[in-house]
Amino acid sequence: MATVPIPLEPPWTSSVSPFSRRPCSNRFALKLAINHTVGVYWRAILKSRNPALGFILVTLTLDVLGIGLIIPILPRLIANFEGGDVAAASGTFGLLGALYSVMQFLCAPFLGSLSDRFGRRPVILLSLLGSGLDYFLLAFAPTLGWFFVGRAIVGMTSANFAVATAYIADISPPEKRAANFGFIGAAFGLGFILGPALGGLLGNVGLRVPFLVAGALSLLNWLYGWFVLPESLQLENRRAFSWRRSNPVGALLDLRRYPMVFGLAGTFFVIQLAHQALPNTWVLYTNYRYNWSVGQTGLSLAVVGLMAAIVQGGLTGRVVKRLGEKRTVWLGLMAAACSLVGYGLATEGWMVYVILIAGSFSGITGPAMRALISRGVSANEQGGVQGILTSLLSVTGIIGPLLMTRLFSFFIGKTSPIHLPGAAFFFGAALMVVAMGMVLRSFKKSPESRSIWAASG
């Protein structure tokens, strides 16, 4: 799954409109992106003709929407608690982000294992209820300490992404899993376009209002799921709960029973770490190199969301059907490596849009890889394996910001031996090349992997 380069405070959420110079063209482009993304998303749901899949996609969208709603206002709210001290607020914001990722890292395998034992439905509903109540806690939090409690809880409940992905694996035949996993990208694209935009508008009403709206959406989703969501994991496909498999280290070591899956899990980690170059340096890089305004940056992010929805929600299934999962992964990695190099070399801002649109084809990688990993384990292990993938994703969210921003700052600084603003992108491209080698090694590692190689294309 391709990572969308979202800044900490999306440009279209400023209290002073960033589109004041060219309000018509930029607002129209953002509206067009939203309309197209919503269209792709709902066509995907209707085409699936599966109410359960539709509910899960709506659940994921609302999860991302809730996160997006508070992105514009959280830094300002923290600054208020810190008495207007921006430096202190910045440090606190970083700690809250790290806490969120750490809790997701720790809890994703736990929730995945719980869902393998008790079913997906109760875990998903409990997470939705917890998320909704937590947003209300944050809305009325009287001190900064309560924000740490709240972010820890929302990090735990957001780990239900692993369970939702396992649900999709349960209800999808192997040949359709990549396409259905691709719909997740459409859900993320929609949530990350609508969430920050709506959060900015609500934040102008009051800094606590987005929390109330996010909580209401989560609770409505929980209520809807309580009456509509069926269980996807049959009794015969459940397994006993094990604490050894319910922590990130134990869950990862348990995958060694499947050499191909273990290798692909490592590849997944490298790919997601490479993608961290985008969300963590996008705004910094485009402002430094092309002098982009906040409006221009916002427009580029809207295009990112639109292309993510089109590629992952509309093209992934077709490409996998034609090429197979193995070739799809390989092609997507090549596209990702080339696009990252292109970002680093682009000398004009307009070139970024060309690369962005062409490079969005790399979004086919994640769904195809998840489908291969899902195919490589039994039906009673889907929650566990999706849990470890979510944990690995969380680790990159901890390491990536530190690594990529340091690369950017060092290579534009006075002590750098060369001036290389795109250093983080070049490093990401190198990681993609490493991932291509790891994929090839994983497929050639065992007879099990070779059989899946043949089955996938």
Assigned domain for 108 exists: yes
CB 249 within 8 A of CB 439: no
Long-range CB contact pairs, 52-55, < 8 A, 24+: 52/167, 52/171, 52/229, 52/230, 52/232, 53/168, 53/171, 53/172, 53/180, 53/183, 55/224, 55/225, 55/228, 55/229
Residue 20 lies inside a defined structural domain of this protein: no
pTM: 0.80
User: Which token pair is 265?
Assistant: 């899990």
Give the model's pLDDT for residue 445: 64
User: Which CATH number belongs to the domain containing residue 173 in this structure?
Assistant: 1.20.1250.20
Domain assignment of residue 235, yes or no:
no
**pLDDT on residue 61:** 81
Contact 297, 286 (CB under 8 A): yes
Looking at the domain assignment, is residue 9 inside a domain? no
What domain range includes position 162?
Answer: 27-229+245-455
Nearest CA among 4, 392, 390, 396 for reference residue 160: 390
Helices (H), 229-315: 248-254, 259-275, 277-290, 294-310
Residue 40's pLDDT is 53
CA dist., res. 173 & res. 455, Å (int): 14
Tokens of 87: 């430096």
DSSP 3-state percent helix, strand, coil across the chain (nearest 5): 80, 0, 20
CB 160 within 8 A of CB 124: yes
Predicted pLDDT of residue 15: 33
Identity of the residue numbered 314 = G
Q: Residue 11's pLDDT is what?
A: 35
Q: What are phi and psi of 284, to 5 degrees?
A: -60, -45
Look at the chain and count its residues: 457
- Please give the pLDDT value at position 2: 39
In a domain, 239, yes or no: no
Cβ-based neighbours of 373, under 8 Å, separated by 6 or more = 261, 264, 265, 268, 385, 389
Is residue 103 one of the residues assigned to a domain? Answer: yes
Cβ distance 222 to 128 under 8 Å? Answer: yes
How far apart CA 85 and CA 78 sit, in angstroms, is 9
Q: Give burial (CB, 10 Å; 0-12/13-18/19+) of 415.
A: exposed
Give the separation between CA 350 and CA 357, rounded to whole angstroms: 11
Distance separating alpha carbons of residues 325 and 178, to the nearest angstrom: 8
Q: How many domains does the chain have?
A: 1
Give the chain's residues under pLDDT 70: 1-50, 86-87, 90, 294, 445-457
At residue 402, the pLDDT reads 84
Alpha carbon separation from 94 to 25, 84, 364, 398 (Å, rounded): 34, 16, 31, 10
Residue 201 lies in a domain: yes
pLDDT digits (tens, 9 = 90+) for 282-299: 888 888 899 988 678 778
Identity at 403, one-letter amino acid code: L
Q: In this predicted structure, what is the pLDDT of residue 86?
A: 66
- Segment 139-196, tens digit of pLDDT: 998 888 998 998 899 888 887 788 988 999 998 888 888 888 888 877 877 777 788 7
Using the structure block, give the residue that is written with the tokens 């195809």: 368
47 secondary structure, DSSP code: H
- Indicate whether 128 belongs to any domain: yes
Burial class (CB in 10 A: 0-12, 13-18, 19+), 256: exposed
Question: How distant is the alpha carbon of residue 248 from its chain centre?
Answer: 19
Hey, what amino acid is at 385?
Answer: V
pLDDT value for 216: 92
Alpha-carbon distance of 198 to 292, in angstroms, equals 23
